[in-house]
Amino acid sequence: MKIVRFTLMDDSEIRYGIIEDNIVSEFTGDLFTSRIATGNTYPLENVQILAPLIPRHIIGIGKNFVDGGVEKPPVPEMPILFFKPLTTVTGPGDKVLLPRGTEEIKFESELAVIIGKTAKDIQPSQADEAIFGFTVANDFGATHYFHPEGHWTIGKAFDTFCPLGPVIETEFDYRSARIQAFVNDKVKQDATMDRIITPIDVMISYISRFMTLMPGDVILTGTPAGADMVRDGDIVDCFIEGIGHLRNPVSAS
């Protein structure tokens, strides 16, 4: 099931729907527990797609993929984790803004997990039960704001630095996901999940030890090799087959 958050071209009201055969069927109610069909349907080309949700929290993991041909290290006892504020969220097609005085920023194409159930102190074998669905994320960072002691918060926190979309896919085999990124239509990233260091089920279990995961939490699961710097005028297209394209221009204003 592909869930989309959208507006109509002549109406700013934010709506939710399910996409099937290029038709959006609107629903109301709670995204995670009580979706109620309204009976309204719209051709997909007549809607404006937004970020598929406003997360409750955004948790990212760093340095979680190895390049092809490189031996994977053991799963770390303490993965590199960070938060991104909700003001980083933007949707497909929206501009990603360069911070004032900054000429380049780094993109990172990622698979994002949307949590759908409360989870505390769970085992990796229980992680799938907590997952509602998946979307594509682009975890931008202004790397020159990274603190030399390992503090990434400022560099990851600028407004528009977390595009999400285009949909939430609830039926997706994340263990075989292929993550790609294109800059100005040139391939920059292309890797499968066999390159991940801390697997997603282990990651969710670990995070649940120190914070209670709740419906609407989004976990960015790391980016493959090839993430690079982009500048004003570049267009970054993150793609995961089965979920879709997340395409955003980078802009100085």
Instruction: Assign 199 to helix, strand or coil.
Output: coil
CB 155 within 8 A of CB 85: no
| pLDDT one-digit tens code per residue, 88-121 | 999 999 999 999 999 999 999 999 999 999 999 9
What was the pLDDT predicted at 5?
Answer: 98
What was the pLDDT predicted at 145?
Answer: 87
What was the pLDDT predicted at 153?
Answer: 87
* CATH fold group of domain 2-49: SH3 type barrels. (2.30.30)
DSSP letter at 46 equals: G
The ranges of the chain with pLDDT < 50 are: none
What was the pLDDT predicted at 149?
Answer: 74
* CATH fold group of domain 58-251: Fumarylacetoacetate hydrolase; domain 2 (3.90.850)
What was the pLDDT predicted at 181?
Answer: 98
The segment(s) of the chain belonging to CATH 2.30.30.370 are 2-49
Distance CA 247, CA 190 (A): 16
What was the pLDDT predicted at 253?
Answer: 85
The segment(s) of the chain belonging to CATH 3.90.850.10 are 58-251
Sign of the dihedral through C-alpha 113, 160, 95, 238: negative
DSSP letter at 158 equals: S
